[in-house]
Amino acid sequence: MSLAIINMEEGMTTSKTEQIELRLSSGQKRLIEQGAALQVLSTSDFVIRSALQAAEGLLRNQQIIMLSPEGQQAFLAVLDAPPEPTQALKDAARFYHEHVVDDLKG
């Protein structure tokens, strides 16, 4: 699985063609406008920046694996001495290369 993290600054300088519509209370809008003013940003840039920071933080947290010291040692031991592949794994790799990789090559 691959995951792309969007660079927050990239979204501030590139051509903007996409749109998100929001419904919020007047109190929420005032709060956002006050936050934008404190950072000397337009309301739109403030909302975009804040949403991107929240999304990046959530995605980053999905990439972190927490292990106990014992778990760390077990993980490193497997990396240092991986088990021999089983016949089922070899068959799966062969199937993948024959049916996926070769199809991609055309």
Q: How many helices (H) does the chain have, and how many strands (E)?
A: 6, 0
pTM score? 0.50
72 and 28 in a single domain? The answer is no
21 and 43 in a single domain? The answer is yes
Q: What is the pLDDT of residue 46?
A: 96
pLDDT at 106 over 70: no
Q: How confident is the model at residue 1 (pLDDT cuts 50, 70, 90)?
A: very low
Q: Report how far apart, in Å, the C-alpha atoms of 48 and of each of 25, 43, 56 are.
A: 18, 9, 12
7 and 55 in a single domain? The answer is yes
C-alpha span between 63 and 67 (Å, rounded): 13
How confident is the model over 22-75, as pLDDT tens digits? Answer: 999 999 999 999 999 999 999 999 999 999 999 999 988 887 788 899 999 999
10 and 60 in a single domain? The answer is yes
Q: What is the pLDDT of residue 2?
A: 41
pLDDT at 83 over 80: yes
28 and 3 in a single domain? The answer is yes
Q: What is the pLDDT of residue 6?
A: 47
30 and 72 in a single domain? The answer is no
77 and 47 in a single domain? The answer is no
Where is pLDDT greater, at 13 or 18? 18
16 and 49 in a single domain? The answer is yes
Mean per-residue pLDDT, 17-22: 90
Q: What is the pLDDT of residue 16?
A: 81
The domain of 96 spans 67-106
2 and 51 in a single domain? The answer is yes
Counting the structural domains of the chain, the total is 2
32 and 1 in a single domain? The answer is yes
